[in-house]
Structure 1
Amino acid sequence: MSFLLYYFNGCRLAEKVFPDEDYKIHKNLLIVGAPGTGKTMIMQIFADYLRLIRNPSQFENLSVTQMMNYYKMNGHIDLYSYNEGQSKGFNPAPFNICLNDIGLETENQKSYGTSLDSVIDEFLYARYEIYQQFGKKYHITSNLNIGDFRKRFEGRLIDRFKSFNVIPLLGNSRRR
């Protein structure tokens, strides 16, 4: 928890919490672990906390299911990438975001012939560009382990995962 508190408040002490890791405060977060270990809940708590204190690192939480439903209804995911619908002129208005539960089976579905896992890929490509151009972070939670990520995503996307601090949440499900 101390790492996340330091990290979200832009404090370089975050980089020293786990000296054996190469965590950096400028990187995005990829939180991985078994179902029920608290990945999504931790990010929901931090999203609320950062919003309450009006921290510039605040972010919106988005589930893969929400994004898939939005795509099925609208045929695009602009709201969660460049957010051009909210922009003035040709200036996109992206925001920090956390995509929860990458790797769900729902990604294997199709919508009017479009594979929804390609929508996830599109999101990741766009968010990497946004991170590079606008400094807007994108965090991810997933039940996939690193080996599963390598199987699921192509080489170009895997290379972009270097922009993440990979944080494993270990243990059994805490759900009751």
Structure 2
Amino acid sequence: MKSRILPHIIVEGSAQYTLGDFDGSSVIYDFDKILIYLQAKGKLLFGKNFKIYEADREILFKLCNYFIKDEANCKKLNIDPNKGILLSGPVGCGKTSLMKLLRHIVPHQKPYKIIPTRNIAFGFNHIGYKTIEDYGDSQYFCFDDLGVEPMGRYYGKDCNVMGEILLSRYEFFLQTKMKTHVTTNLNAAELEERYGNRVRSRMRQTFNLISFDAKSVDKRC
């Protein structure tokens, strides 16, 4: 008979990682054990040079508690597990890698697709407003590098494509509680300048802001 894998255990090839203890109904996660798994999974996803930086421990603690839905810690950290994540920080600090990586600690949850915003804007230039409909719907997305995408243009008309999509996602969030995640290099003031006060106001209602230190090193160097 095939053995049942328990919810606190993740198997990667021949290796097995225990993320905490299982009491029969819920998992009591151990943050240090999660970090061991993330280090190993990161090397599998991104190559042997990947590593978890001690300087990122605070950010990782927030993100891990969000993804595992630890209500007590989320409350202490002022994180609402019912909202999405807006992960901001300087170029190369590891935002995209973490969003690709962290979804693996909760394989029982619905996975989100990570979509570069530049690709969305280019898609709009080819097929128009259907792009906004496609990304404003019921799928689970992480929009990567918000703010680097160019203005959309279709049949001679300009459109702030991601601004429109974020407004659509906000309305969908109110109706269904479907979350959206975002990574960005922009700060709050820059986001408001790029997308307007209306979008920025709605982003406050739909995202938890988690930020890397502005002096975070470029890990791609």
* TM-score of the two chains, using structure 1 as the length reference: 0.80
Shift of 1:49: 4.4
Greater relative CO, 1 or 2 (CA 8 Å, sep 6+): 1
- Say if 2:87 is the partner of 1:31: yes
In the alignment, is residue 144 of structure 1 matched against residue 186 of structure 2?
yes
The total of aligned residue pairs comes to 157
CA shift, 1:39, in A, is: 0.7
Q: Structure 1: any 5+ residue segments left out of the alignment?
A: 83-93
Q: Structure 1: which amino acid aligns with 2:118?
A: T
Gaps of at least 5 residues in structure 2 are 1-59
Q: Could you tell me which residue of structure 2 aligns to residue 115 of structure 1?
A: 158
* Secondary structure of residue in 2 paired with 1:123: helix
* Alignment partner of 1:165 out of 202, 208, 217: 208
Cα distance change on mapping 1:69 and 1:152 into 2, 3 Å: closer
Tell whether the 8 Å contact from 2:121 to 2:151 is kept in structure 1 after alignment: no
Using the TM superposition, give the Cα deviation of residue 11 of structure 1 relative to its aligned residue in structure 2, in angstroms: 2.2
Deviation at 1:161, TM superposition (A): 1.7
Q: Which has the larger radius of gyration?
A: 2
For the pair 1:124 / 2:169, whether they are aligned, the reply is: no
The superposition leaves residues 89-139 of structure 1 with CA deviations (integer Å, 9 ceiling, x where unpaired) of xxxxx12211011111x42353432324x1111100100011111111011
How many angstroms apart in 1 are the aligned matches of 2:181 and 2:99? 9
Find the aligned partners of 2:194 and 2:126 in 1 and give their Cα distance: 25
Residue identity matched to 1:113: G
Secondary structure, counterpart of 1:140 in structure 2: strand
Structure 1 counterpart SS, 2:70: coil
**How far apart in 1 are the matches of 2:156 and 2:195?**
20
Query: Which residue of the other structure, out of 65, 84, 87, is the alignment partner of 1:6?
Result: 65
Runs of 4+ in 1 over 6 A off after TM superposition: none
Give TM-score scaled by structure 2 length: 0.65
State the AA in 1 paired with 2:198: R
Secondary structure of residue in 1 paired with 2:87: strand
Contact preservation (8 Å) 1:47, 1:60 = no
The aligned residue for residue 121 of structure 2 is 68
Residues 92 and 220, structure 2, Cα contact 8 Å, conserved in 1? yes
- Partners of 2:125 and 2:153 within 8 A in 1: no
Distance in 1 between residues matched to 2:156 and 2:217, nearest whole Å? 38
Provide the rounded CA distance (Å) in 2 between the counterparts of 1:114 and 1:9. Answer: 43
Percent identity (aligned): 25
Instruction: For residue 59 of structure 1, report the CA deviation from its aligned partner.
Output: 1.1
